[in-house]
Structure 1
């Protein structure tokens, strides 16, 4: 393992691709300075080096999507996209499309738990549609994201489409490489029952809630559609791209920045701040108490 080359290549990739170019160059210089000071000389393997470099990269602004990631299994030199899709599809199937549970913990209230990920929509659309339709008749709904690590923006938009009555602009993604910004919209499905945009809705969050799951909570909160209950989330808003630099090391670099139309910003660094803060393990009980005090709104057809 040539530490000189690995640190230099990590810095080069961050400087070239990071969503904030000026910060990317400062991070490249930071790694070079730390390496010159001997900080990485004692790393006795790829895992140790990854830990040290990641700590330094995140010391600048706390970007949780940025880092040097160690993989126990060897990373293919040229990742097979078909193979990666097959692996993710298999995982989604084994995890029941990310629908961990549906129950009715109180009279008229449905509880939908989504974990561990919001998988790409093409892999889970049937299961997710069935889950959302199964709670469409509830007087109030709790969406549980306490153990959700993130996922696909199109899946976030799909879920939101069942929770708003009109097409709703969720965010505009801006990219470091000058690619034209891309808007994300939630649109109600053309047919089938939905929970809609009028009845009480709570979203549960915890310290493990991250990335795409944070977007779902943030979008619903900022539009006043849901009450967020639980703990502040991890604060990772920037989508990232991975670059293999060693059989067991991947440089993860955030390359985009979502901008919400209401706030003009996102949840990066700050996380989603709950409307009703409490310990994650107590969030469902707190949400049920809150919902029991609110009259049910009219059902949407």
Structure 2
């Protein structure tokens, strides 16, 4: 799993069926590339980057850049690599499905549910890898992905309740590639009081609107609260919604960020079918933090305490020991 969804899925529309084999034709390649170009030219969040990248893809079509790729997976990987190299956007992705995505309207819900379970389901405990109490009454949360609240919210609430009465908290996001922003914001809400805090909002290019996000005035169960120490561990693998949590807590001066600079993915995306077997991870929006006025796109979240990823936990514990004194 390389990248994760920060925004909700787009409504999917049925597309014509396609042979289930892995072989693709020149027409299939052309259809996918033309759809990618259209997205870049008309909806990609950065207009200038979108247009310049679209122009490069038109040159690729003319030069036969992708002609030798006759299987769906090889082609989608090559298009994704090209997109990300030209834009620097780790959320832009073309994904291939050997089974046709949808043949009629009845397939839409099944496809959405399958993807949600694939990325966020009970087989990974909805992303909660570990919850435990360390020495000196320090809470430790290892969170690997942020699922939709309706799927994994109860599990996250239970995890936050376990650590609520501990004297300090370490949130480990070193292996967390992102997920759904609502759940990342839910975790942040447990680290403040009932007064709502401004969190990173979302600017949508097609509608030219900014939606501001806030911590929740009410959370189920007990809050960890606004006064006890919080440390967040990050690595170069930390991405998307996981970065949003770290960035928000850093901007609000609520946590010490420990580890390596994160991956740099601040553009939410949606699934957009562009062919019966291909989906574009469509990027039409960007994150905007009300405190910094910016985000972590391409530059990542910078740690307050730099450390190699595998040493970040020890470094956080060392810093906490200094706070507690002899």
The TM-score normalised by the length of structure 2 is 0.84
Distance 1:276 1:74, change over 3 A: farther
Show the counterpart of 1:49.
75
Show the counterpart of 2:167.
139
Q: CA deviation at 1:221?
A: 1.0
Match of 2:319 among 266, 269, 290: 290
Q: Which runs of 5+ in 2 are unaligned?
A: 1-24
Q: How does 1:3-82 map to 2 (within 5 A)?
A: 3-77=29-103, 80-81=108-109
- 2:148 is aligned with 1:148: no
Show the counterpart of 2:254.
225
Deviation per residue, 1:152-205 (Å, 9 max, x gap):
111111111100123101022111111532111002426632111111110011
Match of 1:101 among 115, 125, 130: 130
Distance of 2:35 and 2:183 partners within structure 1: 34
Deviation per residue, 1:218-260 (Å, 9 max, x gap):
1111111111111221111111122223343222221111110
Show the counterpart of 2:146.
118
Show the counterpart of 2:302.
273
Distance of 1:51 and 1:88 partners within structure 2: 21
Distance of 2:93 and 2:286 partners within structure 1: 17
Show the counterpart of 2:196.
167
Instruction: Assess if the C-alpha contact under 8 Å between 1:31 and 1:53 holds in 2.
Output: no
Instruction: Assess if the C-alpha contact under 8 Å between 2:268 and 2:283 holds in 1.
Output: yes
Match of 2:210 among 168, 174, 181: 181
Structure 1 residues 225-234 or 6-15, which shifts more? 6-15
Q: Which runs of 5+ in 1 are unaligned?
A: 297-301
- 2:225 is aligned with 1:199: no
Instruction: Assess if the C-alpha contact under 8 Å between 1:200 and 1:294 holds in 2.
Output: no
Distance of 1:72 and 1:105 partners within structure 2: 46
- SS where residue 41 of structure 1 aligns? coil
- SS where residue 27 of structure 1 aligns? helix
- SS where residue 107 of structure 1 aligns? helix
Distance 1:169 1:82, change over 3 A: farther
Show the counterpart of 2:7.
none
- 2:239 is aligned with 1:239: no
Aligned residues: 295
Distance of 1:150 and 1:28 partners within structure 2: 27
The TM-score normalised by the length of structure 1 is 0.90
Distance 1:143 1:72, change over 3 A: farther
Distance of 1:15 and 1:271 partners within structure 2: 26
Q: CA deviation at 1:24?
A: 1.9
Instruction: Assess if the C-alpha contact under 8 Å between 2:32 and 2:278 holds in 1.
Output: no
Structure 1 residues 94-103 or 215-224, which shifts more? 94-103
Distance of 2:284 and 2:143 partners within structure 1: 26
Instruction: Assess if the C-alpha contact under 8 Å between 1:27 and 1:60 holds in 2.
Output: yes
